[in-house]
Homo-oligomer: A and B are copies of this chain.
Amino acid sequence: VDAALVSAVGAEHVLTDPDLRAAAEVDWTGRWRGACRAVVRPGSTEEVAAVLRICADAGVPVVPQGGNTGLVGGSVPVGVPGAVVLSTRRLDALAPVDATGTVVAGAGATLAAVQRHARAAGWAFGLDWAARDSATVGGAVATNAGGLRVLRWGPARAQLVGAEAVLASGAVLSRVDGPVKDSTGYDLSGLLCGSEGTLGVLTRVRLRLVPPLPAERAVALVGVDGVPAATGLLAAARRALPGLAAAELVGAAALALALRLGLPAPLDAEWPAYVLLETAGAGALDDLTAALAEAPGVGDAVLAGDAADRARLWRYREEVTPAISAAGVPIKLDISVPADALPAAWEALPATVSALAPGAQVVLFGHLAESNLHVNMLSVPADREPAVVEAVLRLVAGAGGSISAEHGIGRAKARWLGLTRSAAELAAMRAVKAALDPAGLLNPGVLLAGS
């Protein structure tokens, strides 16, 4: 197998040395650590197909990996003995943006690269999050990722026109050319989106770009009395600000961790929660000021109009994730609930965790507009972890929520997929998996593995 891989992609792109493999064998949070026989870095769709054919012939499992910034262990070779990690990072070509604002990007292109490329052509890319310099568009599509602009532009699926992917057999599916309006057969591109590398390896994606946010923007960081106040504020902001472009929620514990990284306190007093609002368009700062003056629930607020000040306020949101990692190895859950269930869930989550792991620290933040919370838990004893995860996810399922709003299922939640997906749905998913990857070689252990 190794010799065949070398002849397919070149010796310099088959990494078997443990030191060279190491970065691909662990996720960035440090929670998911495994081993693989080799990291293979094909440089073209044809090379991906060759690699997959070799692996199929030899019965070798394949773990696709983009920027390896995932949060559910979906891109690392954990519990898959003898697997090949297929890195898409060399597939980073960017075609010119076409006249209608679509672009074909290699799966390994980073969000930041696509953002720059779009900007140079007078467009913008609708996906953004803090890991933009590492996360790839292939990974984003494979996991139907969300991020900071879902309120405005939707998740990865909403940006996807079509995909090119290689199946486990080496067969290449390609929907990256032709007219955008095309209704000829099953939407295999959409099926691949969110399939977490279990149905095929994405090699290129055709993305729908969006108009750039107006340069005139304003950001506010608002201290609020609690989540009911935050949701009231959001409702008022939606009505008053047609240019609303982001609405993020940061709990007191999350902000406190970010301050430990050296950020100054943003407001005079501490608040139970903070809402970051961004709006774009002519008169943004005046509009945001006026909206906050009239909105309910504003405890205190700091506003920013110029770019540097806005970036400074965004750090109170974006530094939360690194601050959590600096504080320990967290358990990360990514949940959403119906909007009216958010306040109760926010209250119940810390109590639920404390009941099972009294010394644990529960750090909550996320995307207010979608009632999407990132539940991070520090200092949970290893022997309590399964019970804690189960309790949180059952709480969410009981509230009619989703156990994964935007991170995917990965390894972390595979055994819990049945909490919100019915037996009929799981059976249908398994049937689709078996249809496209009959030998089960693509990303085993991920998504459907526990159901």
Contacts and interface: CB of A to CB of B under 8 A. Distances in A.
Interface of A: 99-100, 143-146, 150, 155, 157-158, 167, 171-175, 177-188, 190-191, 193-195, 199, 336-340, 367, 370-372, 400-409, 417, 420-422, 424-429, 431-436, 447-448
B184 A193 contact: no
A427 B173 CA distance: 10
A181 B370 contact: yes
As for how many copies of this chain the complex holds, the number is 2
Given A145-B183, A184-B420, 18 more contacts: A155-B181, A157-B187, A157-B190, A171-B424, A179-B336, A179-B401, A181-B336, A181-B406, A182-B402, A183-B194, A185-B194, A185-B429, A185-B448, A186-B191, A187-B194, A190-B190, A428-B436, A432-B436
A422 B181 contact: no
B400 A144 contact: no
B403 A184 contact: yes
B428 A188 contact: yes
Given A179-B338, A182-B402, A435 B431 contact: yes
Contacts of A431: 435-436
B336 A186 contact: no
Given A178-B401, A370-B179, A401-B179, A447 B185 contact: yes
B181 A146 contact: yes
Contact of A404 (B184, B193, B407): B184
Contacts of A158: 158
A80 to B, nearest CB: 20
